[in-house]
Amino acid sequence: MAQDTSDPPWLSLPAEVAVVLRPVVRDIVEAIIAGIPRDVPVYAMPMEGRFGQGVRQGVTIALNRFLDLPGTRLPALSEDGKWVYENLGRGEVRSGRSLESLLAAYRYGARVTFRAISRTVDVSQLPPDVLLSLGESLFAYIDELSAASAQGYAQEQSERAGEQVRLRAELLEMILRGDSSEGGVPRLSAAVGWTLPEVVVVALVPSPYVEGLRAALGPDALVAERGSDVVIVLPSAGRTARRRDLARALRGRRAIVGPPRPWQQAGESLHLATSAGAHGVGHSDPHAVGSAAGTGDGAADAGRSGPAGAGSPVWVEDHLAELVVLAEPLATEDLARTRLAPLDGLRPAVRERLTETLLSWLRHQGQRAPIAEELFVHQQTVGYRVAQLKELFGDGLDDPEVRFELELVLRAGHR
């Protein structure tokens, strides 16, 4: 009668195999223990202490369980046995070794066991199908051991990664609180392998835009969820190249980067980033933040933010005056109504062109060439528009205080 394909291969093994081999289990164990360091160089160490006990226990349990299987439908591993081999996999992670070394040791043990069976049992008297089942049983059994160890290895890695994430989040919170406990922040930084910088920036990214964020930022960044945002603490991006790299990593994520602060005052950087986000700093329309995400070149946008480079992060240090103005929106609106009153009554398109020109004129102190370059118009056009503005505003454009207030309201987005 043909064996069902769902039956384990050891079902067709005669029980006599186990009876003959049990008296020599200890000899087989010792042969495996002696040979593993030669066959798997990473284990070329004395088989003593906790390591040696673990290997000996694993080999002994494996052999005795295998000899329980011939002629049965038992699973390859009992629950206790599975736990042992999962722990062996975990131990490889803790020892800093790859899983492949352990699997190679299992394969070596299978070869030694097969040779021992060949010497102990008269294989010439066994039918070919029994010999085939014997080899298949050993392969299947080693596969089960390997799978259990692989599961333990993966679980240990996952738990360690989760613990690392938890500790890094705890470090981030300590830094943001300005934790001044004796050596607390430096100690935890060392424990998680994070080099504590003298100066940091704190960035905010809304939760819907955080996919792949940790990988994009790399190990230099501490990342943790806080309310509806993800908060990032990382070394100051003061140098041009570093700022460009950070802009590329945060591109399209509606990120706001607070100004640099010594790590002990990182909470101030977070406060200013939060305030900038609340007031729509860096964008003429607070609801348009990130609307152009995914457009333009990250490196090209690294030095600017706002509508012209909306895919890039907003750098609060570039918008401090705007933040000051937007922090009091009612006062800014009153000031805008007063200072922009000369433009009342103009058609919207004309008003938009003139306010755009006025802001550029104020920013470039009346120099026509940079104004024309910024607005993509001819210098004669600049001259024509400035003449219109002077006619509308009269002597006000000669008053430094008026010019200052005009620039404030225009930079705040009022048109």
pLDDT digits (tens, 9 = 90+) for 139-151: 899 999 999 999 9
- pLDDT 10s digits, 172-181: 999 999 877 7
Asked if 295 and 358 sit in the same domain, the reply is: no
Last residue of a domain, one of 294, 311, 326: 326
Instruction: Confirm whether 173 is domain-assigned.
Output: no
Asked if 17 and 136 sit in the same domain, the reply is: yes
Cα→Cα distances 15→19, 71, 130, 303, Å: 7, 6, 11, 77
pLDDT of residue 3: 55
Higher-pLDDT residue of 53 and 345 is 345
Q: Determine what percent of the chain falls in helix, strand and coil, rounding each to the nearest 5.
A: 65, 5, 25
Asked if 351 and 272 sit in the same domain, the reply is: no
Asked if 139 and 225 sit in the same domain, the reply is: no
Contacts 24+ apart (CB under 8 A), 116-120: 116/21, 116/24, 116/27, 116/28, 116/31, 117/17, 117/21, 120/20, 120/21, 120/24
**Side-chain half-sphere CA neighbours of 69 within 13 A:** 25
Instruction: Confirm whether 1 is domain-assigned.
Output: no
Instruction: Confirm whether 16 is domain-assigned.
Output: yes
Q: Which of 307, 286, 283, 287 is nearest to 296 (CA)?
A: 307
Asked if 206 and 308 sit in the same domain, the reply is: yes
Query: Tokens at residue 214, please?
Result: 């940790």
Number of domains in the chain: 3
Last residue of a domain, one of 159, 179, 212: 159
The answer to whether residue 294 scores a pLDDT higher than 70 is no
Higher-pLDDT residue of 123 and 306 is 123
Higher-pLDDT residue of 105 and 325 is 105
- pLDDT 10s digits, 330-384: 888 888 999 999 999 899 999 999 999 999 999 999 999 999 999 999 999 999 9
Q: Binning pLDDT at 50, 70 and 90, where does residue 18 land? A: confident
pLDDT of residue 368: 92
Please tell me the total number of residues recorded for the chain in this structure: 415
Asked if 152 and 227 sit in the same domain, the reply is: no
Asked if 242 and 153 sit in the same domain, the reply is: no
Query: Tokens at residue 290, please?
Result: 């990130």
Last residue of a domain, one of 290, 307, 326: 326
Say if CB 60 and CB 29 are below 8 A apart: yes
What percentage of residues in the chain have a pLDDT greater than 90? 39
Asked if 128 and 207 sit in the same domain, the reply is: no
- Residue 256 pairs in a beta bridge with 204, 314
> Cα separation of 61 and 80, whole Å?
10
Instruction: Confirm whether 164 is domain-assigned.
Output: no
The answer to whether residue 45 scores a pLDDT higher than 60 is yes
Q: Binning pLDDT at 50, 70 and 90, where does residue 5 land? A: low
Higher-pLDDT residue of 322 and 407 is 407
- The CATH code of the domain that includes 342 is 1.10.10.2840
Say if CB 137 and CB 129 are below 8 A apart: no
Three-class secondary structure of residue 88 per DSSP: helix
- The CATH code of the domain that includes 102 is 1.10.490
Asked if 320 and 363 sit in the same domain, the reply is: no
How confident is the model over 28-37, as a mean pLDDT? 87
Euclidean distance between the first and the last CA atom of the chain, given in angstroms as a whole number: 91
Instruction: Confirm whether 2 is domain-assigned.
Output: no
Asked if 124 and 93 sit in the same domain, the reply is: yes
pLDDT of residue 308: 36
Asked if 50 and 132 sit in the same domain, the reply is: yes
pLDDT of residue 269: 94
Rounded CA Rg of the chain: 36
Instruction: Confirm whether 168 is domain-assigned.
Output: no
Higher-pLDDT residue of 131 and 70 is 70
Give the structural domain span for 18: 9-159
> Cα separation of 64 and 152, whole Å?
22
pLDDT of residue 123: 60
Three-class secondary structure of residue 77 per DSSP: coil
Instruction: Confirm whether 171 is domain-assigned.
Output: no
Find how far residue 52's CA is from the centre of its chain: 38
pLDDT of residue 306: 39
Say if CB 260 and CB 269 are below 8 A apart: yes
Three-class secondary structure of residue 233 per DSSP: strand
| pTM as predicted | 0.56
Which secondary-structure segment (H or E) carries 313?
Answer: none
Backbone angles phi, psi at 376, to 5 degrees: 60, 45
Find how far residue 134's CA is from the centre of its chain: 47
Instruction: Confirm whether 191 is domain-assigned.
Output: no
> Cα separation of 81 and 259, whole Å?
56
pLDDT of residue 297: 36
- pLDDT 10s digits, 187-246: 999 988 999 999 999 999 998 898 889 889 998 999 998 888 899 999 987 777 788 889
Asked if 229 and 299 sit in the same domain, the reply is: yes
